[in-house]
Structure 1
Amino acid sequence: MLGTVEERVQSCPECGEEIRTDHRFVPWCAACDWNVDPGEPEEPGGRLEALRRRLAREHGERLLAEVTTDEALRPRRDAASVLALALASAVHGFTVALFVGGVLLVVLGWGGALPVLGALCLPIAWLLRPRFSRLPEDEQVLYRSDAPELFALIDEIGGAVGTTGVHAVAVNGETNASVSTYGLRRRRLLTIGLGLWEMLTAGQRIALLGHELGHYAGGDTRHGLVIGNALGSLRTWLYLLSRIESPTAPEAVLNAFYLLPRGAVLGAAMALDHLTLRATQRGEYLADSFAARCGSTEAAVGLMDALMVSGSADVTLLRESNALRGHRGAAGEAESGLWDRLAAHTESIPASEYERQRRRGALRGHSVDSTHPPTHLRRSRLLAVAALPAAVTVDAARGSAVRTELSGARKLVARRILNGG
């Protein structure tokens, strides 16, 4: 279903140089960068995201220089982290005060409209309460008994990183991976997107797991219990105080009433964002260091390259799904070979496309994702420091065992992708 590879030859409309391009990818000129980035990055949605991107641009190069010269990159708590924790605690303190005040107004019944005000405070406090994530219901979740070899590998990588393993592994079809926590006991969850996993070599997969477990070892402040929930509470406040569009006369009065409290909440959200953004981006560089330590610098750089062309994997999976429309009888055969075809597609991506993506990333900088340093900068940092060998390796037998343990999830996720799910 991937089709044959055809070369397209044309002259650059800007400088006249000959361009030879794989027909599956964007034609561009290496001599003058014509058409390196034919699309436009999305505009930031709202003031908060616009601030994030501006701060990311301002501090990005400076942070890269800092983490490149600091070869002993390690977790640290600075003044900004302490202030962020204090501000987040104040946000939660206000939620507690709102709840306690609401209870007192309702229970004591001081007459007039105060009990009504208290009754209004209670549901708002409930909306602002700290949230504890649950295990995903629409993904294949594996536990240690389901995949002992995979979990043993994760434990070994965790040991190399300086942390423990995870309690569960969720598998989906995304071209991504992540770590999080779930439940009151804050159990650890690793999410593996097969769209990315199946693009990678064995060493790159170890680097990926090292990177994700490195977030636990490095401390992810933005997604921690205190700061993460504070950011969630502030987002809820911004929603509750959002301006009513095309208001009637009473709604215009309400908009005016909301103006000051909304400004205060927006200011608090921007301040908390400002205080945590640098630590979040530094945490990505730190996680990349763990990736290199576990899988080798070469594997970590290869992981960065795979992330740059992950959009091509998304297109490939979508094409596979579209090709099956009206031919559902062939679904079983398509499912069994989907991931092998994705791996073959990845191997066939020409070097020119990787180079185009690196140049495209340099042009866009932080304009796409404010919470992560641009991938080309992360790649540059890995190459700028001393190269590391792999601390964890996987032989053919172990790799085969892990593949077998993931076989059920691979089939289920492939079926969902091909069915358009």
Structure 2
Amino acid sequence: MRGRVERLRGAAARRHGEKLLTRMIDAPDARAHRDAPAVLALVLALVVHAVTVALAVGGLWCLVPVRNRFDTLLGIFLLAMAAVLRPRFRRLTGRHPLFRDEAPELFALVDEIARTVGTRGVDAIAVDHKVNAGVSAFGVRGRRLLTLGLPLWETLSPRQRIALLGHELGHYANGDTRRGDLLGTAFETLEAWRYTLAPIRRPNAYEMIAKLLYLVPRLLVEGVLMALDPLPLRAAQRAEYLADRMAARVGSTEAAVGLMDRLLVARALRVALQREASAAALGGPGTARAADARADGLWDRLREYAQSIPEYEYERRRRAGARRGHSVDSTHPPTHLRRACLLAGPPQAGSVPADARRDRLIDLELATARVAMARRIVRDGLGD
């Protein structure tokens, strides 16, 4: 099921990408808005959550007041189903979280960029080991979380880092619906339904009857998943183009394009990091100290590797990406179209200046995370 959804996403991204690029170039002052499919997606998400609420209400109705044993059992069953399907809010687990008192300079930079793009800052910054970055929400109150993949951050220039932050914060400014709690938790609830109604392998006679009873609900859940997933895609792709413009606005067009090119070689950066982990593992048991020593110079070696990639290799990857439809993931427009959209408009110098002193202070604030992530990568590789 997940593979089919991914294929649908990829096909839709390629299909809508070029049409949307033309519209974005023709409308340089375009703003974010929710089209009819995005609104329909929100309505379906509300319906999904309404089913969970109905199960909880039905369970309480069966239990209060107590009528008979059957109503009690049914009420407990309905409440258990509602508990399984309840919206689950993200937590700050498995990452290296930073808060304002721990990284005041980094948060000050984020706040400055947020004001420039027309939104507020974030409540926490999580550092992880991925060649990526993103924004999301955590907790019941939907607090804002910015995730910085240290392998990407370490290979960017100061202006490219500003462009990266401008792009991610631009998603908040543009109201990207895919980053909202409502849609995200609806997808998770549908996945829970799909898992609960999954067919039983090698069923006995009683399980075969249950399998037949589950058939229609399972097909309904899969149908809703297949229908809901592509609905906000156009709005999401439009938000990506607008976030790219925010990146150019705060960091400069040159920095935003450079960031795009760095994403083209993200796979090569991951391979380089995996080689580091493999080299450490080949040392055999009892080499923890040697692994830590190797981790100490990891980021310097990664930067040197990124800087050693020649321009003709970037050009080759751009052409290959245009042929194969390269994108950051299946929900993003193809990378070569995003790059073309940036270059179509007048070049921007960037409204947030790079500051060498601030950059040094931010590096100091990230020092502990840098050591922890380097050791994690060298010892465990890039697996989640």
Aligned amino acid, residue 275 of structure 1: L
Q: TM-score, normalised by structure 2?
A: 0.92
TM-score by length of 1: 0.85
Q: For the Cα contact (< 8 Å) 1:170–1:189, is it kept in 2?
A: yes
The corresponding residue for 2:236 is 280
Segment of structure 1 superposing worse, 363-372 or 397-406? 363-372
Instruction: Name 2:36's counterpart in structure 1.
Output: 79
Q: Does 1:208 align with 2:164?
A: yes
2:90 to 133, 157, 163: 133
Task: Give how far 1:288 is off.
Answer: 0.9
1:418 paired to 2:378: yes
**Distance (Å, rounded) in 2 between the aligned partners of 1:368 and 1:133:** 22
Query: What CA distance in whole angstroms lies between the structure 1 residues aligned with 2:295 and 2:7?
Result: 42
Contact 1:210–1:290 at 8 Å: present in 2 too? yes
Deviates more, 1:404-413 or 1:60-69: 60-69
Alpha-carbon offset, residue 206 of structure 1: 0.5
* Residues 367 and 320 (structure 1), Cα distance of their counterparts in 2 relative to 1, 3 Å cut: closer
Paired with 1:108 and 1:115, the residues of 2 have a C-alpha distance of 9
Q: Structure 1: give runs of 5+ residues left out of the alignment.
A: 1-43
8 Å CA contact 2:326, 2:336 repeated in 1:
no
Which residue of the other structure, out of 211, 228, 243, is the alignment partner of 1:255? 211
Counterpart for residue 150 of structure 1: 106
Q: Which has the higher helix share?
A: 2
Spell out the pairing of 1:15-414 with structure 2 (5 A cutoff).
45-111=2-68, 113-136=70-93, 138-325=94-281, 326=283, 327-365=287-325, 369-414=329-374
CA deviations 1:80-121 (Å, max 9, x no partner) are 232222221111111111111111123344446343222211
Structure 1 stretch displaced more, 400-409 or 57-66 = 57-66
Aligned residues of 2:133 and 2:148 also touching (Cα < 8 A): yes
Q: Does the 8 Å CA contact 1:169/1:189 hold for their aligned counterparts?
A: yes
* Alpha-carbon spacing, 1:65–1:247, altered in 2? closer, same or farther (3 Å): farther
Count the aligned residue pairs.
377
For residues 183 and 2 of structure 2, the distance between their equivalents in structure 1, rounded to whole angstroms, comes to 22
**Structure 1 residues 104, 354: CA separation in 2 closer, same or farther (over 3 Å shift)?**
same
Which whole-Å CA distance do the structure 2 matches of 1:71 and 1:367 have between them? 22
Instruction: Give the fraction of aligned pairs with identical amino acids, expressed as a percent.
Output: 54
Deviates further, 68-77 or 248-257: 248-257
1:262-313 CA-partner distances (Å, limit 9, x unpaired): 2222222222223211111211111111111110111000001000101111
Could you give the per-residue CA deviations for residues 236-286 of structure 1, whole angstroms, max 9, x where no partner exists? 111111222333333332222112112222222222223211111211111
Q: CA deviation at 1:223?
A: 2.7
Secondary structure in 2 matching 1:163: coil
Q: Alpha-carbon deviations, 1:324-349, whole Å to 9, x = none?
A: 23244333432332111111100101
Partner SS, residue 388 of structure 1: coil
Q: Aligned in 2, Cα 1:343/1:368: closer, same or farther, shift over 3 Å?
A: closer
One-letter identity of the residue aligned with 1:51: L
CA distance in 1, matches of 2:348, 2:44: 39
Contact 1:321-1:418 at 8 Å conserved across structures: yes
Q: State which drifts further: 183-192 or 250-259.
A: 250-259
Q: Root-mean-square deviation (CA), in Å? A: 1.9
| 8 Å CA contact 1:174, 1:194 repeated in 2 | yes
Query: Is the contact made by 1:57 and 1:366 (CA closer than 8 Å) also made in structure 2?
Result: no
